[in-house]
Structure 1
């Protein structure tokens, strides 16, 4: 179903004024238009994946920018996944500039590294613990949480300088084009979320843009 819906979305992107479609999971469409039109000439699409080979290969074959969702583990272990995506995309004939990469993870920035981890841990533990009715999730110890917050851990949590360093490390490892942080989870109180976003806007993002020579402004 996901693959079919994606093909339909790509068809709409190619010609939003004249869409003819017939598939398994929705009624057929015959010469329909899909308003409103995107602001851009062509609607930009990024394909989110969890790291399975089939998802990574789908993004590469279609030549779509890929956003890789990371929950845990060592960042350096992800490099083969990224290289496979780009290899599949190149083999399919897509230019390298189309094979953009984004990474998404849980995000929290505090004034100090220890303070950020102390504040975040109970909320993160609550967020990931197994819950009914599916029982999906996992139990995490403080030691594992701290390791996952380290320089090469998937969790982006710490002081402003730690966050800057980690995002720049991702850029150096993968040639990262975009980073997306999930800023509100596990019942975090609103002031905590707001303070993290403010530090991102006033200290983290400007430093990263300066280091990489990226102008400030809205993403396309």
Structure 2
């Protein structure tokens, strides 16, 4: 069971309650990753965003910095918005991170639930589906690290093109999916591992997607890899402290995004219900560990990443959450799974 952390580089606040700079927020993530590595956390995934609330627009750049200060932790994006990027350049950048980290780089590719990158880089949202379909097809070909011939409608064709640098082993590549059956089948068709973004509701409702992935892989003659999932949460010394530290900042970012998507403002009762029964993993180390172990067992997944940042949280509290996750939650989860 791989147990990791996930962040979009949310801009935190300092101990006076003032937001830090984007530069300081990026350095905060690096420090959190270094601590996670020291404590034996298996992986850290950095998401790509192009909004003021988040500091990370190029995950692989931050991962390269983390690579030089860590030894064991896997370094992933979560996700790289492939639709608005170039597959060749994405491969080259992650191959570079893989070199710097001695083979620890992973890329999680996605279509992007946020769309700011499309107009920013000159892409038409009307091409949302075809952009990802074609670019994923090319990226999968690049993974073989042999000369590639490819043509499509979304970028220039390639004729026997060789791409450098080469890795010392195949670049680990996942596809992040938020709940589209078509995306699940596409992932299976390419023989890639599936990472499910489960950010609300009971995690068991995603069981049919995992079953679909495995059935599709069998019918298509590809490999069904162990499935991963990531969900938001927070760890503190007690359940009450975790909720009080997490809720105010979570409500800020949830309501800001919700206003753009037509969601009503978050109510505390809704938050408490989601923490109790849904896909918010919030509480003391034992509470969070029990919930992770329970969800992992019900869904039969091989990886769980905790999205440990949400909105303008206190930077010190975030570091404490990373410490508790690595030092206490992970050993508890492993014990619970082994005893199940």
Measured against the shorter chain, the TM-score band is: 0.7 to 0.9
TM-score, structure 1 as length reference: 0.87
1:32 aligns with 161
Question: For 1:178, which of 303, 318, 321 is the aligned residue?
Answer: 303
Cα distance, 1:60 vs. partner? 2.3
1:158 aligns with 283
The answer to whether the 8 Å contact 1:89/1:99 transfers is no
2:39 aligns with none
1:72 and 2:173 equivalent?
no
1:114 and 2:240 equivalent?
yes
2:228 aligns with 102
**More displaced, 118-127 or 71-80?**
71-80
Q: Number of residue pairs matched? A: 207
Q: Distance in 1 between matches of 2:266 and 2:218?
A: 39
The answer to whether the 8 Å contact 2:203/2:279 transfers is yes
1:3 and 2:129 equivalent?
no
1:189 aligns with 314
1:217 aligns with none
Cα distance, 1:38 vs. partner? 2.5
1:198 and 2:323 equivalent?
yes
Deviation per CA, 1:148-187: give whole Å up to 9, x if none. 111x411111110111111111221111111112222211
1:126 aligns with 252
| Structure 1 residue ranges without an equivalent (≥5) | 214-220
Tell me how large the CA RMSD over aligned residues is.
1.9
1:20 aligns with 149
Cα distance, 1:110 vs. partner? 0.8
CA separation of 1:39/1:200 partners in 2, compared to 1, >3 Å: closer, same or farther?
farther
2:178 aligns with 50
Q: Secondary structure at the residue paired with 2:167? A: coil
Q: Distance in 1 between matches of 2:303 and 2:324?
A: 18
CA separation of 1:196/1:39 partners in 2, compared to 1, >3 Å: closer, same or farther?
farther
2:292 aligns with 167
2:272 aligns with 146
Q: Secondary structure at the residue paired with 2:173? A: coil
Cα distance, 1:125 vs. partner? 0.8
CA separation of 1:211/1:34 partners in 2, compared to 1, >3 Å: closer, same or farther?
farther
Q: Distance in 2 between matches of 1:190 and 1:85?
A: 38
Q: Secondary structure at the residue paired with 1:94? A: coil
Q: Distance in 1 between matches of 2:315 and 2:228?
A: 27
CA separation of 1:107/1:34 partners in 2, compared to 1, >3 Å: closer, same or farther?
farther
Cα distance, 1:25 vs. partner? 1.1
1:87 aligns with 215
